[in-house]
Chains A and B, each alone.
Chain A
Amino acid sequence: MVENIGVLVIFFVLIVIAMIFYFAFQSASIEEKQGELKIRNALEITSKVSMLPELQCRKNNVAEAHCFDALKIDSAKLLFAQTQNEDYYFQQMGFSTIKVKWIYPYNDEKQIYHKTMPEYTNNDTSRIPISLYDPITNSYDYGILEVNVYS
């Protein structure tokens, strides 16, 4: 009888050790997934912003991919900040800071959207190269769209 109980105790102890290992591994994997979801969210916002008609350049009424019209940037910034549009753009861009940076032929930077999450614990930055088209000079500058997402 005592021997049987001993066997069962050892058996359950081993099962408990296995479960501890399993849950420790699972929690690490959940953290990894959370991190990936945050990166995906930043990517999603970057893609959405790069295709916003409020910013996108057009030639003969055809939208150009990954290209911002330099003349639209200031008016888009005002549009994003207007109280009546706040909810709509918050749904699109969430808690984030969005900047357009000029790399070539000169360096400059414009912040087009900013909404910080109160007491955020994490921020992920996503960047993609974009063309910045100046319709007055008909030239394309090299720029970056930088999206910083708070969570």
Chain B
Amino acid sequence: MEKIKKSKKGQMELLGIAIVIVIILVGVMFFFLFAITGENTSIAPSVIRTQIGANTINTLLKTTTLCKKLTISELITDCVDGPNLECSGKNSCEYVKSQISYILENTLTNWGIDYQFDILKQTNTAGNEFTPIGEMDIGSACTSQEHFEQLLPTQISYAKASLNLCN
């Protein structure tokens, strides 16, 4: 009789330990679940990238070049419509591409940011279809990116300056 009582007591204690271990395991599981899948609340890096991207495209298009004191956006519109202008022995497309490449290499590339810059041309006047001008492609293609663009009215239609900052 006493043997049975002792064995029952032992079983109860083992059950107690098992419950304690289960509770701790559940706690550890929750801890790791939150530690691993917990959302990264850091917004500063994305704010910096957004600021850099938006400012880069706005400042770039406003910049005055050494070609007839024309801005980069004016040269882009000429490139899309023509090209008609000539700068330092190059047509406006070649010239503006070299100037944009120089600026982006001395800023984004130096800061370790991969990018893709494109000029897009409106393909149909009624809709909003734009296709990239192949020769104006600068940088490397991104798999995932933050996108910034600005619409530029040309004499014939519209063009778009597009900047992707690769993640």
Contact = CB atoms under 8 A, between A and B. Distances in A.
Given A7-B17, A103-B107, A104-B99, A21 B31 contact: yes
B125 to A, nearest CB: 31
Interface of B is mostly: helix
B57 to A, nearest CB: 9
Interface size class of B (residues with CB under 8 A): 35 or more
B68 to A, nearest CB: 12
A126 B48 contact: yes
Given A18-B27, A36-B42, A127-B111, A142 B52 contact: no
Given A25-B35, A32-B42, A144 B65 contact: no
Interface string A101-123: 00111000000000000000000
Interface residues of A, number: 35
A18 B71 contact: no
Contacts of B45: 39
B103 A103 contact: yes
Contacts of A126: 48
A129 B47 CA distance: 14
Contacts of B103: 103-104, 142
Nearest to A65: B58
A77 B56 CA distance: 25
Nearest to B105: A103
A43 B48 contact: yes
Interface string B105-135: 0110001000000000000000000000000
Interface in A109-151: 126-131, 137, 139-144
Contact of A129 (B16, B44, B59, B64): B59
Contacts of A143: 59
B60 interface: yes
Interface string A71-99: 00000000000000000000000000000
Nearest to A103: B106
Contacts of B48: 39, 43, 126
B107 A14 contact: no
A141 B103 CA distance: 11
The 5 closest A-B pairs by CB, nearest first: A139-B64, A39-B44, A129-B55, A129-B59, A142-B63
Interface of B: 13, 16-17, 20-21, 24, 27-28, 31, 35, 42, 44-45, 47-48, 51-52, 55-56, 58-60, 62-66, 69, 71, 99, 102-103, 106-107, 111
Interface of A: 3-4, 7, 10-11, 14-15, 18, 21-22, 25, 32, 36, 39-40, 43, 65-67, 103-105, 126-131, 137, 139-144
